[in-house]
Structure 1
């Protein structure tokens, strides 16, 4: 156990400090332009990236149809979705992540459900900004129950010298790589005379669309924004690695991703009522809605609290790659697989290694879900026919649920079901 904690502490950075992340990201020579771009992304990605996951868990739940007894393997990211899955009472969830900061965040969120006194305390800790009592709640209820690595991480200090746990007294959703990117986007919009926070004043879908068309859409025609969105590194803050940028660029007839991003922003702002879309609240208000403003994420809603609290002990968070974890599992030992957008980053070799283990470990009726930057599934033409043949691509449901994903970041949502 001590060795594993030492490995996690050592792997909190990039390159030599995090060989797992390095092997997943780097596909080109260091001195090539592609290699330099990958290394810059890796350096930025080696810290906390997603305080909140940006895949819609309601879409996931409908696609997977989780039942009691199911065994799930998922990438962790911000941890919100695996907590939502617990509301369906699966038998086990294995959470994997190559980023030790995400490992620490997932374990802390699980501990909050297990050890804080009640639902209101969980919401106060995870969803309410400016709560001075959260550090005290952490010290009294959570820190004594955490494993050594997670406790040391949150007791440790960030680059400014402040204890990391202090972000829960301020607003954790304004931190991390994505939080800083959203802040920078707000600053850029304000320099052009637009205050993005005004969007949350909209009271109808009509007003939401009017704000988009009058205020937001014209920004993408500004020369500086077109220049910024033509640079791969400028979008690293969205968690878009070089490979995804290249894929998105194929959707556009120009080098800039301005048109693609404008289309995604239109979906976020215009396709879902603001009261029902906490992703829009995070993008524009940089916080969750208050009770009179809208709905919290499903895992923070009172109706799911008891199921998640009871199920939290059935989750194990691993600092590992998806393939690495599955390689240690016996055949037919998993039912649901959640890959997020990780395959967009992978080489053909990594992709085939992953699906070798998925196919080996998949029990009857298994389901795999993932997202892609572009609309089409990346598997045809890249995955060996031998590995692809045992799986049925649910084209109709994939398209339907992809359109319902409130985060609006991805081009495609994909469901593969194991053939009988």
Structure 2
């Protein structure tokens, strides 16, 4: 179909030319509980903006490998790694906490540039202006394609809805009850309406957030009211059911910066010191696909964080998805734990995938044991609240799991079981 081709072209242009994610939109507090991280674990994760790789590293993992096909995402993580190694905490917080560094040119030239690998150096030589703190988008968190979307939404809040004071009071609310009162009485009716619904149904808009057409179609098909209603319900949940005082995900996109009390773990001074003390050296970046990386390495892993990229692969490249899972199985320890998210309310495409193990053919449904109860419990607490489902699975290699019907048919936490969310993030 022409619409599908145009949508893919827009999505590929957005992802092929830009830094897409300037911050991670997956809640690592949930992931760390689900993964049960220990100092002997080796983790493979999609890079995205690198925030969560740094968060996981704080558990003292043996190794963290980040993989992303977009070199700009790895350039961002490399800048964070260089900043941790080279800068003092106050300067680092100005850079990635406030998203601006007025003396960027001097600090970059004297402290950061030579600490970067060549590809990252070339990128930041050209794009250091993201941190200058000037112009119409004065914060780094209003840069990149997702940052442009955030800036646009802030412009709408300021100039169309004219509710900036109400939004600021919402962010400073001291209780769920206060949040709920401000949101329903002063914010929602001014922000949400036919114009916003129209905007959020456009593939071009969603591409800025890294949401491919395949993920939008999942929600249009299975969620009553489609993606616009889904987003409306998710906003309702974030602002009226979850405390905002530590929700740094929404704060940074609504203000362009973090605060000392509301920020990712790597931006807290004691954690910054621990990373600088050696933990940062356990993080390694790779610009390639998960499949190509795994097929080129002998490294094995006990933990995997796969984000939501399988939604797109399942619709467009099922053969690559099968090969990727074979590579994951080949490089996984027995009883490895894997996490993934999806725009789908129920993920149906993983269990039927066939892989070879010990000279025999198995479906993933025979090897994966899903922790449905924990996934539902954690997903209900997700501060981001923008995914349709969340899966936690243990891979049994030495003794294939005798999958029950529930294990095969109902994977992860879904809209049927908890109140949560789903604007997908491909990474």
Aligned to 2:130: 167
Out of 242, 261, 267, the residue aligned to residue 237 of structure 2 is 267
| CA gap 1:189/1:257 in 2 versus in 1, 3 angstroms | farther
Q: Cα distance, 1:279 vs. partner?
A: 1.1
Q: How do residues 8-407 of structure 1 correspond to structure 2 at under 5 angstroms?
A: 32-46=2-16, 47-116=18-87, 118-156=88-126, 164-170=127-133, 171-190=139-158, 192-196=160-164, 198-202=166-170, 203-204=173-174, 205-218=176-189, 222-254=193-225, 256-289=226-259, 291=260, 294-309=261-276, 310-330=278-298, 333-347=300-314, 348-380=318-350, 382-384=352-354, 386-407=363-384
SS of the residue corresponding to residue 88 of structure 1 reads coil
Given that 2:337 and 2:392 are in contact with CA atoms closer than 8 Å, whether structure 1 keeps it comes out as yes
SS of the residue corresponding to residue 120 of structure 1 reads helix
SS of the residue corresponding to residue 380 of structure 2 reads helix
Given that 1:344 and 1:378 are in contact with CA atoms closer than 8 Å, whether structure 2 keeps it comes out as no
TM-score (normalizing by structure 2): 0.83
Query: What do residues 338-391 of structure 1 show as CA deviations (whole Å, max 9, x unaligned)?
Result: 111111111322221221111111112211101111332344555235233111
Aligned to 1:161: none
- In 1, Cα distance between equivalents of 2:230 and 2:30: 22
- In 1, Cα distance between equivalents of 2:253 and 2:303: 29
Query: What do residues 229-267 of structure 1 show as CA deviations (whole Å, max 9, x unaligned)?
Result: 33222222221110110011123344x522100111122
- In 2, Cα distance between equivalents of 1:37 and 1:223: 22
User: What is the RMSD of the two structures over their aligned residues, measured on CA atoms?
Assistant: 2.1
Q: Cα distance, 1:330 vs. partner?
A: 3.1
| CA gap 1:375/1:76 in 2 versus in 1, 3 angstroms | same
Given that 1:200 and 1:281 are in contact with CA atoms closer than 8 Å, whether structure 2 keeps it comes out as no
Given that 2:30 and 2:378 are in contact with CA atoms closer than 8 Å, whether structure 1 keeps it comes out as yes
Given that 2:351 and 2:364 are in contact with CA atoms closer than 8 Å, whether structure 1 keeps it comes out as no
Higher mean C-alpha deviation, range 222-231 or range 353-362: 222-231
- In 2, Cα distance between equivalents of 1:247 and 1:62: 28
Q: Cα distance, 1:412 vs. partner?
A: 1.5
Aligned to 1:409: 386
Kindly tell me the number of residue pairs found equivalent between the two proteins.
377
Gaps in structure 2 of 5+ consecutive residues: 134-138, 355-361, 400-427
Higher mean C-alpha deviation, range 391-400 or range 32-41: 32-41
Given that 1:177 and 1:237 are in contact with CA atoms closer than 8 Å, whether structure 2 keeps it comes out as yes
- In 1, Cα distance between equivalents of 2:246 and 2:395: 33
| CA gap 1:48/1:322 in 2 versus in 1, 3 angstroms | same
| CA gap 1:177/1:194 in 2 versus in 1, 3 angstroms | same
Gaps in structure 1 of 5+ consecutive residues: 1-30, 157-163
Q: Cα distance, 1:48 vs. partner?
A: 0.7
SS of the residue corresponding to residue 391 of structure 2 reads strand
Q: Cα distance, 1:393 vs. partner?
A: 0.8
Query: What do residues 158-201 of structure 1 show as CA deviations (whole Å, max 9, x unaligned)?
Result: xxxxxx11322322101011111112223334454342563232
Given that 2:98 and 2:256 are in contact with CA atoms closer than 8 Å, whether structure 1 keeps it comes out as no
Given that 1:124 and 1:131 are in contact with CA atoms closer than 8 Å, whether structure 2 keeps it comes out as yes
